[in-house]
Amino acid sequence: MFSLNGSSFLNNSLSGVSKSLTQSTQRKISAPPVVVASVSSNGKPGDRNVSVLMENTLKEMRETATSSSSSAAVEQESKSTVGGGVEDVYGEDSATEHQYITPWTVTVASGYPLLRDPHYNKGLAFTEKERDAHFLRGLLPPVVISQDLQVKKMMHNMRQYQVPLQRYMAMMDLQERNERLFYKLLIDNVEELLPVVYTPTVGEACQKYGSIFRQPQGLFISLKEKGRILEVLKNWPEKKIQVIVVTDGERILGLGDLGCQGMGIPVGKLSLYSALGGIRPSACLPVTIDVGTNNEQLLNDEFYIGLRRRRATGQEYAELLHEFMSAVKQNYGEKVLIQFEDFANHNAFDLLAKYGSTHLVFNDDIQGTASVVLAGLMAALNLVGGTLSEHRFLFLGAGEAGTGIAELIALEMSKQTGVPVEEAREKIWLVDSKGLIVKSRVESLQHFKRPWAHEHEPVRTLLDAVKSIKPTVLIGSSGAGRTFTKEVVEAMASFNEKPVILALSNPTSQSECTAEEAYTWSEGRAIFASGSPFSPVEYNGKFYASGQANNAYIFPGFGLGLIISGAIRVHDDMLLAASEALAEQVSQENLDKGLIYPPFSNIRKISAQIAARVAAKAYELGLATRLPQPENLEAYAESCMYSPNYRHYR
């Protein structure tokens, strides 16, 4: 895992973020002047009048700016704007929810185009005054309803669908029609809708993405665009990008190579960045790098939307990725967060190591999974007792997730005990497809597995490894379903009063065991969590609620922390800080139910606390460029979070 020693960098303020929290309470920057669209005789905006309107409006804005005093200019420059730190050109986010703003596109949005603009559309929530001002009379039924009633109606409709993919498609349709209602719906019903917009349903959506594709939700960059990627990035309508989630589709969840259809993953991740972490949607960019696919079924599918060729490898692949990374930095600057998602092992580690020292990069499969699992283990210690270094860990799966989790556990052990990380690794054992990773296999191992090769006789099966190592914690990250068999779980329960069993593979069909299996086979003594959600289980008259080790606990708040601090590199200590912050949110009430993660219902508050801890670590390491540091980072993080509530239009 890439680790960067803390170092100091030149101050470089993040555009659109206040220099301190206290300044955010000062007088707000005034929004652009009121603009009323002129219309031609037939009631539609006239091209000539619109041009005059735009010219007059810009002239008035310049005159207003010129007439302001120098002190006011200084005051305006230091103002805080919410929305994750993107420059608030038109005053939309510097206004309170009760102040009026202008729905500005190329001109003032009005009439039919306004109803087709997902950023400004409010559907039946347009007020009578707004319907008159923006030529909406007759285009909507006469009733005016609140956003809360819209949410209630949408949830009623959503629950009518029996098939999860139908719910997913309904949510995507809403996002393309009414952006704020989509996020309001997701935030207010996060526990019910999270499995719809992300795992496990997003896996099926990716498998069928070619059939359900309607309109682009992100950028598709293929080998056809080689040499022109910077030009392609400029085609994206939003220019102030803060977070990019990119995949090449080679290892989508536990489903394998889905090629270009992996776009559902970046789209889903960035929806959670906005809903759970408060990053403004316009600052998020989903990207799929299409280098072909080795999936024969897709290559023969007439509805497949990607390149019909075998995957590019070697120099051809490396050159395309390098051009992409260079173009992103050139177009958006060095503080844009690039999150690698669902790359195959042989590329994921190399990309993280190659670009970790030159870009702000984060691999959620390696680092995000590790951070959320470490948080769960820290919370579980309150139930099983002891410290991390007093436990023995056995992993099934030695890929990105497995080795990433193992390394972060070792780093935390080293931090707590002061022993070298190499010594801490000796408490952690990994099993791959060929059996226990031991010293005698070291020459045939991939480089990222070699640190985990310990002295031990060869062991072929997981069951034999469990009986030999006698771990207190069993972690599955194999992507192979039902591999924690009855014999394995019973063996764990035979020498542990409370065996900790984490079945992390996604989607549900790939989980190493179900919650019911874990509780039943351990006679109700297991501390269980999974990657995908499971319903509560009844065993011997007692109900057990299992936790979900979902990366959505970590990456939205982690990304927000990087943004509000203006961080330019990711450091392992930031991941440890995020884990500690999440573990602290697990209450005694949660633990009494057997939960080692807090409920998602309070996720935005949790994300703000994680963001504050990550930002504080960035300042401590000298990796933050947003100076001076706000006095109250948690409150500052909350003030920068996107709100999906409707705004009032002039």
Active site residues: 198, 269
Contact at 8 Å (CB) between 81 and 564? no
User: What torsion, rounded to 10 degrees, do the Cα atoms 483, 488, 493, 495 define?
Assistant: -130
Q: What's the alpha-carbon Rg for the chain, to the nearest Å?
A: 26
Q: In one letter, which amino acid is 194? A: L
What does residue 17 show for φ and ψ, rounded to 5 degrees? -115, 135
Contact at 8 Å (CB) between 222 and 306? yes
Quote the CA–CA distance of 471 and 449 in Å, as a whole number. Answer: 19
Sign of CA dihedral 336, 339, 344, 347: positive
Question: Which string of DSSP letters, residue by residue, matches 275-299?
Answer: HHH---GGGEEEEEEE-----HHHH
Tokens linked to 344: 């195959």
What are the CA-CA distances from residue 453 to residues 223, 416, 429 (Å)?
A: 38, 23, 8
Contact at 8 Å (CB) between 302 and 204? no
Question: Which string of DSSP letters, residue by residue, matches 237-277?
Answer: S-----EEEEE-SSSBTTTB--GGGGGHHHHHHHHHHHHHH
Does residue 628 have a cis bond before it (omega within 30 degrees)?
yes
Contact at 8 Å (CB) between 534 and 549? no
Which residues, other chains included, contact 224 with Cβ-Cβ below 8 Å and sequence gap of 6+?
307
Q: SS3 letters for 162-222?
A: CCHHHHHHHHHHHHHHCHHHHHHHHHHCHHHHHHHHCCCHHHHHHHCHHHHCCCCCCEEEE
Quote the CA–CA distance of 193 and 200 in Å, as a whole number. Answer: 11
Tokens linked to 185: 């719906």
Task: Let me know how many helices (H) and strands (E) the chain has, helices first.
Answer: 26, 16
Q: In one letter, which amino acid is 58? A: L
Sign of CA dihedral 408, 413, 415, 416: positive
Quote the CA–CA distance of 340 and 287 in Å, as a whole number. Answer: 10
Quote the CA–CA distance of 575 and 408 in Å, as a whole number. Answer: 8
Contact at 8 Å (CB) between 479 and 455? no
Q: What is the largest CA-CA distance in the chain?
A: 88
